[in-house]
Structures are given as C-alpha cells and as structure tokens.
C-alpha cells in the first residue's frame, strides 16, 4: 500500500529494479502500457480478470506494473459483470485462455446494488464459494479474490454495528467469512482491497461519479495501488519473496551511537526517545516470527555492537533473534555478499535497511539486486514506510517458516565461529560440545531405525535394520552392545547422530556397524566413540578390535576409516576390507567433547 | 483565466488521454471527432482535468457537456 499522489507521491520499490522506485501515477502507467516491449522478459503470466466493475482502466495499469516488475503479462479481460457466466461454463472463453491466475475483482458498489435489490447480503458468501468451486473444478489457476472496502453509508449511525443485516456490518462479516474460507484453500489469495481503501481513506476512495459514468470501482488515483497489490501476490506465488532483512544498528535499530553513548545510553525502550525504535524492533521481530531471517550489518567494533543485545534489558531484539551478526569496518556491500553466501539465498531476496543514505547508495550500486528502500528521516515512520512498500508478501505460512530463523542462526553462528579461530582445535573447544552415548533405548528406537535407513555416506557396512531388529539387539545384552550417540553444542541440539554396534567374540571385539550423520563430520565424535569401544574391549578382557568396511555406491568417504585409529588392514576382497587393532596400541586423540557418565550394561 | 490559456493547458491532457500527440483542441470538438473518446477515456479526461485545474465537477455537469467549448466555459466558471 502507499499514499496517493494528491496527498504525497506514491512510490514503491520492487525486487527486480529496487534502485528505481516505481512511480504509481495512473496516467504515467496508462501511457507506458502503450509502449511495452516484453521481449527482454523471461517470466510470463497468463492472467484473467473477471469483474463486476469496469476493468478497462485497471488492465493497462496492471500490465505496466507486471512489466516493470519483470513479468510479461498476457491478460484476458472478462465481459463486464459476467463472473458467474464465465466461471460456471466449462466451455467459456475464460477456460479457453488457460489462465495461470484468475483475479476476481469484485467491488463494493456492485455488492451494494445487490443488497438494495435483495434487502440483505444473504447468500453473498455462498456465491463467492460457488465461483471458487467452479474455477477450481475447471482450472488449476490460482485465484485472487478482492475483498470489499466497507461502505460509507451508515443509516443507523454508530448503532448500525448492532444491526447485523445492515450493509456496513454485513460487508465486514462477508470479508471475515471470505478470509476464513480462504484459509482452507491454499490456491486462493485475498487481495485486501479493504485495507488499501481504508489506508487511502474511504472518503477519497469511493467516487460515485466515476461509478455512475463508467463503473470505475474507485478513484483512478488508487487503481495503481490495487494493481501493484495484485502484482505483489502473483510474484510471491512465483517464489519471489524476501527471505532476509539486513539492518544497520546506530540510528536504525536504536537511537544514537553505541560506540559513543554506551550500551545503556542508546535510545531504545517502550517510552520516550526510544519508542520509535521499540516499535521498529517489534516489527522486525514479527517478521522473524513469520520466518524471515534477520541479519545485522554495522560499522562498529563487534563487542561494542553486540553489547546492547546482551546487556540492555530494553532491547526487543536479542542476540538469538539475529541469524548473522556482522559488525566491522569493512564496506557494507562486501558484508552483504558474505551474508548472502552464508545463507545461500539470492540477492533479490534480501532487504537492506540503513538510515544512512551513503550506505544505501553504496549497496544499491554494488549489489543492485538487493532491495534498498528509502527510510524516512523520522525513525517514528520506519514501520509505516516499510508497510507501505508491502515488501513481505508471501504465498504460504507453515511451522517450517517459524522454525527456520533458529536453524539458520545456529548454522550461521557455527560458521562465524569457525572463521574466528585460526585453528580447528580452538574452534572445536569453543563449541562446548556434549555427547551422550548409551545403549539403545526403547524411546530412541524410531530415530535409530530412521538413521539406519537414511545414512549412506558415513556408513561402514550399511546394514539396514528395522525397528524390530534394533529392539532385538537392544535386549540382547549377552551378545551385543548397540550404542547410539547424540550431540549438543552451545548453539543447538544436533539430536541422535551416530550408531555403533559391537559384538564380543572369544578374543576380539567385532564392530559390525558404524554410521554417522554427515552433519557432524570433523567434530571428533568418531574419536570419542572409538575410545569407548576400545575401553569396552579392555574391560571385557579382549585383546583386539576388528572392523569391517563393505563398499557401496555411496560410502567411499569411509573406506579408510579404520586406518586413522591405528587399525591394520588384514584382508581385502572385492573391495571389502577387514581391519584389526591391538587394544594396547590404541592412542586416543584429543577431543573437545564432554562425555556423559556411562555404564555398559545400561538398558531400557 | 482566459479561454485561450485554458485551451493551452488542455491540449497536453487531451493528447495524453487520447494518445495522439498531433491532436489540437478546438471549441467545436466533440467525442465523435476523436476515435479514442469513449465513456472510459471520458472519465480519464475528467479526472485529469480536475487534477490540472484543481476543480471538482458534478456528475450532471459532466453529462451535460456537449463539446470542448462547453468544457472550457465550465472550467472557467469552476476555476474562477
């Protein structure tokens, strides 16, 4: 959403050409529509628009805005007020067009007319659903349903809200019902025209003259806003979405300069000078809860920059809310490239927010795909400016979205940590890893069996035991020691990541299975486990440990696994190798993992 | 504001709305004389003129307009 040109210039950044803002002037867009050359555009959309208002003024605007967002739109314009006719007839020109998207551009004025004729809005919801059903039956198109700006006629005055059959509350109820029904259908998207109209002001939105003269559903100035919203929705269904917001710190995330003012001297908090930033941080937090990653890119000493996140109780955002934290004196474009590489996402899914015009322009020039909105001079208007740009459109929301920032943060922090250490040992020590090794337990069996099925690369013998077989080994205390290991570090829990099964013989301990998740390679987990295995052999009075490698198409990475522990290769046949270790010659390697107390006979 | 001055300011609006850079505004011009002049471009024209002259026309005034001369007189009255 944005304001309109009579009360301020409408401008909207778009992902493809973020360095330019799109000017949402109606006449300009109509003019431009006559000269569109879509030859350079790789993305296309076939869009049908069905309306109970006139769509002839809307279509050129829509076409231009698609074009300026990098999409060539072919548009089918349904006949005026023929939504039912076209959707219910499987042989209609609409379906012949094979649309990717169908826009149901319904308007309040037409709804009002039906209300006048019928005396109520009864049946309005089922009429909408009937159209959806028909569309979904005859086409795979995504459906964009306009909702209804609330009418200004209120014959009961304020009391009207208590009279549910009057037009105003009935329209509000219809909007609510449409929204609720759309929740159950993943290919129905609501274009919230009501929110656009109320933002612009219903007083200006409704122009009865234009409705009478040409069935135009709002003042022409606002048509581009509605069209841009349709474009935003379509782009999000095409996967063009913002995945990460990168913020500056001083005077962006808080007032003042932390280097000068100190971590308690900066302006942040629910009252007073810090309230604008408090509001802004809450907005960013709500983006994070929605699944958008937050990153910091600041010119500061790292320690100084981090301090408020840890030690200022008024901060809304905490250290853990930030997926990647970069504070240094390098140029921000390079830092943004680092962020992009770390997250492995496209530049066009990044938004960069900085109060400093110099930094914004630098990033626009060096990373032209990154979306860099202008920020208003007054921090109190940050959230409003971003909301107007509608940058965070999405086509879905699930539990995965909620969990994403945390997973990315853990992984990014590990990488960041690694880059700070000149040697791997210091890095490993800093992770504060804890391992838990235990005999198979009943509650762990499902995960154990799953790992047995899924591990391919780090798997010495690739026996695929099912749950029942795992449980049998768990209970076979006499002949079998089946171990699992789970790992945590200070950044998060890796869960159950390794399985080792050994069987005591007369003089030797046989390792029949050894597998591990590749996520925890090079952490020292295998050394930790080998020490356990050797100690177990010693306790049992066994002199040697025997290991086996059975080649598969995918496990070449562990073909010499046993050599690193001092095993000798004692036989080789068709790629299968047997290895032997004298327990007294075993030299445990230094590991940086704290181990749990453990008893061999521990059982479920 | 004199009629000539109004006509000067109307010309680029007409040219833009009817997509014809050679279009000249004449007093006796009607919708029949301009191919692109239909009920929708008529509304476009009205809205653009309202914005240019910072005036507001009523539905009846818009409906009554017979030719461009009428339009100029109306703008003169309203913008006075």
β pairing state of A43-51 and A101-105: parallel
E strand or H helix at A293: strand A293-299
| Contact map slice: B 47-76 vs A, CB within 8 A | 47-48, 51, 57-59, 62-63
High-pLDDT (> 90) share of chain A, % = 72
Structure tokens at A129: 């659903």
Q: Between chain A and chain B, how many beta carbons pairs sit less than 8 Å apart?
A: 42
Instruction: Give the largest CA-CA distance in chain B.
Output: 31
Chain B within 8 Å of A57 (Cβ-Cβ)?
yes
| A35 and chain B in contact, CB less than 8 A | no
Q: Is the pLDDT of residue A346 over 80?
A: no
Tell me which residue range forms the domain holding B15.
3-79
The model's confidence at residue A490, banded by pLDDT at 50, 70 and 90, is confident
**Is it the case that residue A448 has pLDDT exceeding 50?**
yes
What is the gyration radius of the CA atoms in chain B, in angstroms? 11
Question: What residues have CB less than 8 Å from A100, skipping those under 6 apart?
Answer: A45, A46, A47, A141, A142
Please give the sequence-ordered ranges of beta strands (E in DSSP) within A506-592, or none if there are none. Answer: 508-516, 544-549, 568-573, 576-582
Tokens at residue B49, please? 């003129």
Task: State the Cα–Cα distance between residues A345 and A325, nearest whole angstrom.
Answer: 16
If one counts the domains in chain B, the total is 1
Q: Is the pLDDT of residue A16 over 50?
A: no
Q: Distance between CA A336 and CA A366 in Å, rounded? A: 10
**Is the distance from CB of B31 to CB of B65 less than 8 angstroms?**
no
| Cβ distance of B47 and A210 shorter than 8 Å | yes
Q: Å from A214 to nearest chain B CA?
A: 6
Measure in Å the smallest separation between the Cα of A34 and chain B Cα atoms.
9
A7 touches chain B (CB under 8 A): no
Report how far apart the first and last C-alpha atoms of chain B are (Å, whole number). 7
- The rounded distance, in Å, linking the Cα atoms of A382 and A387 is 9
The pLDDT confidence band at residue A599, using thresholds 50, 70 and 90, is: low
Q: What is the pLDDT of residue B26?
A: 92
Average pLDDT over residues A43-56: 96
Contact A390, A192 (CB under 8 A): no
Query: Is A412's pLDDT higher than 90?
Result: no
Answer whether A11-237 and A244-409 agree in fold.
yes
- In this prediction, residue A63 has a pLDDT band, given cuts at 50, 70 and 90, of very high
Please check the confidence at residue A21 and state whether its pLDDT lies above 80.
no
- What are the chain A neighbours of B40 within 8 Å (beta carbons)? 54, 56-57, 214, 216
Tell me the CATH number at B56.
Answer: 1.10.1200.10
Which member of A34, A214, A221 has the closest CB to residue B43? A214
- Non-local (6+) Cβ contacts of A313 within 8 A are none
The mean pLDDT of A103-129, rounded to a whole number, is 95
Closest CA to A563 of A553, A577, A542: A577
Position A474 pLDDT exceeds 90? yes
Per DSSP bridges, beta strands A101-105 and A142-146 are parallel
Angle made by CA atoms A326, A331, A332, in degrees to the nearest 5:
55
- A88 at the B interface (CB within 8 A)? no
List the single range of A111-115, A391-395, A458-462, A513-517 with lowest mean pLDDT.
Answer: A391-395
CB atoms B42 and A213 under 8 Å? yes
Cα–Cα distance for residue pair A296/A352, rounded to 1 Å: 10
Strands (E) in A407-543, as ranges, are 433-439, 481-489, 492-504, 508-516
**B36 shares contact with chain A (CB less than 8 Å):** no
Within A295-398, where are the H helices?
302-311, 332-343, 357-366, 382-389
Q: A153: distance to nearest CA of chain B, Å?
A: 19
Grade residue A451 by pLDDT with cuts at 50, 70 and 90: confident
Q: Does B16 touch chain A (CB under 8 A)?
A: yes
Q: What's the CA gap between B80 and B75, in Å, rounded?
A: 8
CATH of domain A428-595: 3.40.630.30
> Is the per-residue pLDDT at A528 higher than 70?
yes
Structure tokens at A604: 């479920």
> Mean pLDDT of all residues in chain A?
90
- CA–CA separation, A183 and A180 (whole Å): 5
Task: Give residue limits of the domains in chain A.
Answer: 11-237, 244-409, 428-595
Nearest C-alpha of chain A: how many angstroms from B41? 9
Q: DSSP character for A52?
A: S
pLDDT at A8: 32
Q: Identify the CATH assignment for A11-237 out of 3.30.70.2190, 1.20.120.80, 3.30.300.130, 3.40.50.1110.
A: 3.40.50.1110
Longest dimension (CA), chain A: 99
Taking residues A98-114, report their average pLDDT: 96
* Chain B residues near residue A31 by CB distance under 8 angstroms: 16, 19
**Of A31, A214, A221, which is closest to B40 when you measure between CB atoms?**
A214
> How high is the pLDDT of residue A600?
54
Inform me whether the pLDDT recorded for A134 exceeds 70.
yes
Q: Is CATH 1.10.1740.10 what the domain over A244-409 is classified as, yes or no?
A: no
pLDDT higher than 70, residue A1: no
- The predicted pLDDT at position A378 comes to 95
pLDDT of A2 > 80? The answer is no
> CA A227 to CA A60: how far, in whole Å?
10
Hey, are the CB atoms on B57 and A209 less than 8 Å from each other?
yes
Alpha helices by DSSP H, listed for A262-356, are 275-289, 302-311, 332-343
Interface test with A, best of B12, B39, B43 (most A CBs within 10 A): B43
What digits encode the pLDDT tens for the residues A248-258? 999 999 999 99
User: What's the whole-model pTM score?
Assistant: 0.71
> A595: closest CA among A518, A541, A504, A527?
A527
Selecting from A34, A209, A220 the residue whose C-beta is nearest the C-beta of B44 gives A220
């Amino acid at each position: 959403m944005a304001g309109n040109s009579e009360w301020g210039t409408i401008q909207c950044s778009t992902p493809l050409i973020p360095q330019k803002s799109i000017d949402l002037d109606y006449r300009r867009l109509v003019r431009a529509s006559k000269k569109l050359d879509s030859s350079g555009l790789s993305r296309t959309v076939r869009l049908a628009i069905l309306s109970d208002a006139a769509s002839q003024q809307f279509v050129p605007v829509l076409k231009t805005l698609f074009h300026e967002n990098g999409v060539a739109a072919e548009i089918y314009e349904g006949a005026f007020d023929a939504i039912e006719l076209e959707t219910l007839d499987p042989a209609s020109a609409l379906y012949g067009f094979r649309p990717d998207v169908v826009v149901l551009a319904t308007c309040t004025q037409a709804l009002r007319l039906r209300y006048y004729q019928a005396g109520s809005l009864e049946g309005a919801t089922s009429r909408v659903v009937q159209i959806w059903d028909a569309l979904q039956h005859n086409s795979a198109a995504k459906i964009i349903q306009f909702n209804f700006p609330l009418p200004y006629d209120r014959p009961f005055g304020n009391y009207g809200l208590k009279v549910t059959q009057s037009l105003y509350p009935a329209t509000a109820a219809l909007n609510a019902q449409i929204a609720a029904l759309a929740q159950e259908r993943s290919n129905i998207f609501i274009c919230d025209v009501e929110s656009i109209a109320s933002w612009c002001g219903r007083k200006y939105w409704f122009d009865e003259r234009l409705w009478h003269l040409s069935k135009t559903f709002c003042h022409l100035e606002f048509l581009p806003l509605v069209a841009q919203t349709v474009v935003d929705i379509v782009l999000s269904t095409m996967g063009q979405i913002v995945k990460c917001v990168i913020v500056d710190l001083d005077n962006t995330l808080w007032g003042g300069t932390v280097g000068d003012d100190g971590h308690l001297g900066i302006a942040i908090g629910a009252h007073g000078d810090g309230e604008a930033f408090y509001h802004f941080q809450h907005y960013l937090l709500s983006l994070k809860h929605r699944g958008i990653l937050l990153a910091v890119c600041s010119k500061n000493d790292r320690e100084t920059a981090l301090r408020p996140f840890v030690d200022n109780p008024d901060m809304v955002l905490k250290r853990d809310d930030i997926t990647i934290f970069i504070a240094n004196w390098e140029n921000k474009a390079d830092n943004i490239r680092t962020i992009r590489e770390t997250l492995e996402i496209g530049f066009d899914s990044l938004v960069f927010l900085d109060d400093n015009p110099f930094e914004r322009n630098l990033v626009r020039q060096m990373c032209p795909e990154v979306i860099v909105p202008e920020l208003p001079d007054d921090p109190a208007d940050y959230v409003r400016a971003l909301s107007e740009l509608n940058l965070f459109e999405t086509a879905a929301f699930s539990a995965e979205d909620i969990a994403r920032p945390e997973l990315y943060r853990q992984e990014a922090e590990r990488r960041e940590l690694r880059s700070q250490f000149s040697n791997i040992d210091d890095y490993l020590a800093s992770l504060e890893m804890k391992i838990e090794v235990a005999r198979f337990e009943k509650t762990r069996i499902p995960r154990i069996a799953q790992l047995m099925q899924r591990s391919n690369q780090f798997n010495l013998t690739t026996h695929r035991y099912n749950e029942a077989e795992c449980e049998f080994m768990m209970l076979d205390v006499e002949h079998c020691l089946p171990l699992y290991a789970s790992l945590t570090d200070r950044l998060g829990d890796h869960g159950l990541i390794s399985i080792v099964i050994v069987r005591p013989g007369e003089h030797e301990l046989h390792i029949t299975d050894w597998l591990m998740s590749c996520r925890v390679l090079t952490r020292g987990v295998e050394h930790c486990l080998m020490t356990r295995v050797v100690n177990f052999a010693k306790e049992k009075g066994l002199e040697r440990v025997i290991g086996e490698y059975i080649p598969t198409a995918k496990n070449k990475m562990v073909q010499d696994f046993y050599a690193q522990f001092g095993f000798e290769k004692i036989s080789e046949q068709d790629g299968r190798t047997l290895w032997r270790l004298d327990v007294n010659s075993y030299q445990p390697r230094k590991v940086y993992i704290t181990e749990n107390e453990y008893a061999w006979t521990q059982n479920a | 504001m004199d009629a000539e001055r109004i006509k000067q300011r109307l010309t680029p609006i007409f040219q833009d709305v009817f997509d014809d850079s050679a279009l000249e505004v004449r007093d006796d011009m009607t919708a029949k004389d301009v191919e692109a002049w239909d009920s929708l471009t008529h509304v476009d024209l009205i809205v653009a003129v309202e914005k240019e002259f910072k005036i507001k026309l009523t539905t009846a005034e818009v409906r009554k307009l017979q030719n461009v001369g009428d339009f100029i007189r109306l703008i003169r009255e309203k913008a006075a």
